[in-house]
Chains A and B, each alone.
Chain A
Amino acid sequence: MPNLQRVVVKNYRSLEEIELYSRGVNVLFGPNGSGKTTFLDAIWFVRDCAIRGVDEAASQRSHGIGVLWDRAEQNSHISIEIETERAIYSIEFGFSSGRIEAFVGERLRSKYNDKLIFERIIGSDKAKFFHSGLSKFVTVELREPERLALSRYLDSDSDLSEAKEIHLLLKYTRKYNARSADIHRLRTYGSEFVSHQRLYDRCQNLWSVLRNLRDRQDWGKTEYETIMQFMRKSFPSFNRLALEAQGTNSVYGNFIEKDHEEPIKASGVSDGHLQLLIHLTALFSEGTRTNLILLDEPEVSLHPHALAVLAEAVEEAVSTWNKQVFIATHSPVLMSQFETEDIIASEVGDRGQTTLKRVSEIFGIRDLLSEYAVGSLYMSELIAPQSKLETVADV
């Protein structure tokens, strides 16, 4: 059962109204500007609010200027709802002077008894928490109202199972955009020491994370070896990494090829080697901890064979390492590696709104799917076309 079961987004950029029941693997593809990355960002936006606070999350998105669906009615809000096994949590963003209001609306419901657990309205610095001991709602003044009431609720004395589930989902959500990875830093300067195994969003701590995995006695060995196995499978000449300390506070990565004694510095290997190493580290470095991992265009710099191996790694991460993965991609090769139930076509509707539909549910192509790869049908524009049909001459 995936950790994140359902996402509903309203009025966020091109996502006028989207509902998606998620699976372990969720591969989004479609025309440029059809809303794939926006959908990932909607999830990440909620995560940012939970971890960094609403102000910072909004400032990362131009303070909300221009993010409201442009055909939304006056006084409309952006709302994002996420559903886990036990809870449904929704967050509503209001606007003041065109910017996102820091005091957001929130609501947490239990799925077991369909009861409201807490609620806060947009613009309020107070929230109503259901107190299980008193069996009633109590109004609580929020100490930091620009932070989510969800965080405050976790400090209360109430039954926390639903809130914890949402909190942990957001806390352990990761997002990696292959084009934003700081490859230059990794090649030129290495990584500063960190003591944990979480890969940062821009991946600048890659070498340090890998060294931690390799050297720790209590955890990390299996994770590290899994990453190396997939690297060897992708790149037949790859043998292992040589991670070396640089001075007192940084680590640098070297690649050892088969039949070569001399290591190749990270500055001398292909972007594809580094990109795949990043993806594999993102998938496995945190071991069996439940993570929601969002990968935006992971196909960058990768050969078709490496993409097939990446897909295999994603499947393994989902089936045995407790990961749930969302991928936004344009790669026909990558999408073709997954089951049709896991692949979601993102298209632009007649009013410019995003529509999402699982490939397995698209009427009119099922007969072709039994024979052809999904990516082939994407390339032929039978699914999620970018061009429009035209007439040359008529009578």
Chain B
Amino acid sequence: MSESCYYFTFLLFVTGKGEREHLPKLFKELTTSGICSFKVVEKIGQRRAITSPRRIAKMVGKGQMLPSKDFEQIGAPARRHLQNAPCARLLLIDDLEGLDEADASAAFQRYRRALDEGLREHKERAAVHFLVRMLEAYFFADVEATNQALALDPPIPSYDQDVETTIEHPKSELKQQYFPQYREIEDSGKVLGQLSLNTVLASPERCASLRTCVKWIVEQLMAYPTPNYVEQFSFDERFHLQTGQLYVVTENQEITQHPGTD
């Protein structure tokens, strides 16, 4: 059982340049609760499925197992960040780009294995989630914010389909159709500063992957000693966390046991 936490720090492991600089802003509505913050702490290389059989290298002499690169670059840093911070949680967030569900599942398993090997009994304090297909997809789910942040003229028209599944390459779409001078690091920060999760997750049918990520975060916040406090922000209702679509690859990750639960 975890100890009581009055403040949660979500530590982000990210794979992209824009995410490295600005991803915490995506979750700013959650910080209005006053009991959490988000920090990017590690930039890691993107992982995809390993197709060859897993081999284990051993130390010369006594022959202990040598850790994999995934352990060294993901599991061990995760351990280091969490081991002396009981109220910290870890979110590893990657772009799914063009992966199908099977490939996404394989990438998920690889990230998850690295975290599990590093964190062991604390593995439920970390989760893996995907931006589908990439961060810029969500710019189309809140076009008002995007238009305003980038001063687009003509503006992006409202987009009433699921941005996670219907736009092949959101970054290219943005550049080719609306904003050729788009600079990933600077401009993504501007948009994320105005993007609202209320709008992005307004439809329960859309943005399943981001909703799954937010749901995990809110479930972590429910470990607050008085969960009623968290409930008053109506995250479940605003983001359709209980009723909306979830992403099958990432939805079943263990959740930290709350004080007073088995």
Contacts and interface: CB of A to CB of B under 8 A. Distances in A.
Interface of A: 304-305, 307-308, 311-312, 333, 336-337, 364, 367-368, 371-373, 375-377, 379-382, 385, 389-395
A335 to B, nearest CB: 10
Contact of A364 (B37, B38, B83): B83
B66 A391 contact: no
B199 to A, nearest CB: 18
Contact of B66 (A307, A311, A368, A376): A376
Interface string B29-64: 001000001111111000000000000000111101
Contacts of B121: 367
A370 to B, nearest CB: 9
Contacts of A305: 60-61
A395 B62 contact: no
Contacts of A376: 59, 64-67
Interface stretch (B15-23, B99-107, B210-218): B15-23
A338 to B, nearest CB: 9
B140 interface: no
Interface of B: 20-25, 27-28, 31, 37-43, 59-62, 64-67, 71-72, 76-77, 79-81, 83-84, 120-121
Given A368-B120, A395-B38, A308 B61 contact: yes
A382 B39 contact: no
A337 B63 CA distance: 9
A304 B64 CA distance: 14
Contacts of B72: 379-380
Contacts of A395: 24-25, 27-28, 31, 37-38
Contact of B61 (A311, A367, A377, A394): A311
B248 to A, nearest CB: 29
Given A305-B60, A336-B59, 7 more contacts: A304-B61, A367-B121, A372-B67, A380-B71, A380-B72, A382-B79, A392-B42
B65 A393 contact: no
A333 B67 contact: no
A389 B27 contact: no
Binding site secondary structure of chain B: helix
Contacts of B24: 393-395
B152 to A, nearest CB: 24
Contacts of B77: 380-381
Most B Cβ at <10 Å: residue of A305, A364, A373: A373
A392 B65 contact: no
B41 A392 contact: yes
Contacts of A392: 20-21, 39-43
A393 B40 contact: yes
B59 A333 contact: yes
A332 to B, nearest CB: 8
A367 B120 contact: yes
B41 A389 contact: yes
A55 B113 CA distance: 60
B80 A381 contact: yes
B41 A336 contact: no
A391 B41 contact: yes
A315 to B, nearest CB: 11
3 A-B pairs with least C-beta separation = A308-B61, A380-B76, A395-B24
Given A364-B83, A372-B67, A382-B79, A394 B40 contact: yes
